[in-house]
Amino acid sequence: MSKGRRVKPMFSLSPALFRESAIAGRGVFARRRFEPGDVVVPYAPRQRRVDARSPEALAAAETKLTLLSEERTVIIPDTSVPGGWLCNHSCDPNSAIFSDGEGRIQCTRAISPGEEVTIFYGWVSHNEPGRDPCRCGAAGCRGFINFDLSDEDASHARVRPDNTVEMDDVLRGRLAEYGRFLHSIGQEQVKEAIAATLVRIKLRKPGSVVCAF
């Protein structure tokens, strides 16, 4: 600080900053400390909710930025303005997306000022094992953002009439390891996406499903 010069106060109402990230593209960074349960940023300052079966929702799903929410609705973010939709994935995230009410990013593990705000994408792919390489830098990084299910995996599963999935020991063994990982980072809801993907592969159509492992 030099004498006689006006100093701009280092103060901002915004608790988060959007800038280039070492993980990928632009990311979200904390400007202050957050504790578990704190809302860090809205998913998007401008967002709207539409019916999940509408053509608009299906088209927007290609961006992978829509959030499936309660009562078969999806939240579509306005990406002309930065927001929580810019959060990068981490295999050891410090935040999570909530889509009940307003879509928002909430802290799940204390975040220090300057730290990147990360979430777990929970993407499940089919026959694309190397689709999304991960550069999150976490000690336990899985190497890929997506968890892939192959046709071979699906051959070890059977869909019951009630749309739940029955697996043999081979597939159960493979998923058990990932299940332990998901548990360790509090992301067990991804198991439902895995079960739903297995049903889609087996039935070749979208379907709702009850988590089965």
Whether 136 contacts 89, CB under 8 Å? yes
Residue 87 binds Zn ion, judged by CB under 5 A? no
Q: How far is the CB of 118 from Zn ion (least distance, A)?
A: 9
What binding mask, one character per residue, do residues 6-45 give for Zn ion by CB under 5 A, x or -? Answer: ----------------------------------------
Long-range contacts of 64-73 (CB under 8 A, 24+ apart): 64/123, 67/43, 67/97, 67/99, 67/103, 68/99, 69/99, 69/100, 69/103, 70/99, 70/100, 73/49
Which lies closer to Zn ion via its Cβ, residue 180 or residue 205? 180
Neighbours of 7 (CB within 10 A): 7
User: Considering all CA atoms of the chain, what is the largest pairwise distance in Å, rounded to the nearest integer?
Assistant: 78
Among 75, 91, 159, 196, binds Zn ion (CB under 5 A): 91
Q: How far is the CB of 93 from Zn ion (least distance, A)?
A: 10
Q: How far is the CB of 92 from Zn ion (least distance, A)?
A: 8
Stretch 106-165 residues interacting with Zn ion (CB under 5 A): 134, 136, 141
Structure token digits, residue 73: 């609705």
| Interface region with Zn ion, contact rule CB under 5 A, candidates 51-59, 90-98, 121-129, 173-181 | 90-98
Residue 185 binds Zn ion, judged by CB under 5 A? no
For the chain, give percent helix, strand, coil, nearest 5.
20, 25, 50
- The angle, 0 to 180 degrees and rounded to 10, between the axes of the packed helices 169-184 and 190-203 is 150
Which lies closer to Zn ion via its Cβ, residue 41 or residue 136? 136
Q: How far is the CB of 119 from Zn ion (least distance, A)?
A: 12
Residues that bind Zn ion (CB under 5 A): 91, 134, 136, 141
